[in-house]
Amino acid sequence: MLGSSRDGHRPALSPGLSVTRVGGRGHNKRQKQLATQVMKLLAAYRQAQEFSHFGSELALAVKKDLEAGKRIHAVLNQPPGESYSTMSQQLMLDIAINVQEGEVLDINAMKLAANDIAKLIQKDEDYEKVRDELKTKSLLELKK
């Protein structure tokens, strides 16, 4: 289990468990791809955390895994009473997973805009355009 109500991560998350009898059969292709990417990134994040405890200089790949894991946890962390549509969750995870080198996301700004901008998706072809618009609104700066 990745989070529990006692460690401040809400909702508690266990990506390996399904809450329905149909499991992944109820998910579309994008949801399955995002779930796979999230699980891989979180596994790399946990491994990078182990390496970081040694206190030595971290390799660039380990630093990237730590940053990606922190972003994913920030997207998944939500206070009680805060909720997101399925589409807004997909948009936020897609953006957090695919941050390019030098980009800095404002996760809070992304969360504030996600539900409203997700409503702009009327058909599957709208997804990429809306995702890119949300990402643009969520970028803080480009690191040099």
**Average pLDDT of the chain?**
81
DSSP state of 100: P
Three-state secondary-structure class, residue 121: coil
Q: Which amino acid is at 101?
A: E
DSSP letter for 56, please: S
Model confidence at 36, pLDDT cuts 50, 70, 90, reads confident
Q: In angstroms, rounded to a whole number, what is the distance separating the alpha carbons of residues 134 and 75?
A: 14
Nearest one of 101, 103, 86 to 138, comparing CA atoms? 103
Q: Is 114 exposed, middle or buried (0-12, 13-18, 19+ CB in 10 A)?
A: buried
pLDDT tens, residue by residue, 84-136 = 999 999 999 999 999 988 899 999 999 999 999 999 999 989 999 999 999 99
Domains and their CATH numbers in the chain: 23-142 (1.20.150.20)
pLDDT for res 17: 53
- Return the pLDDT at 4: 46
Q: What is the pTM of this model?
A: 0.74
Q: Which residues contact 94 (CB under 8 A, 6 or more apart)?
A: 30, 34, 131
Name the burial class of residue 34, with classes exposed (0-12), middle (13-18) and buried (19+) by CB atoms within 10 angstroms of its CB: buried
Q: Which two tokens stand for residue 19?
A: 């809450």
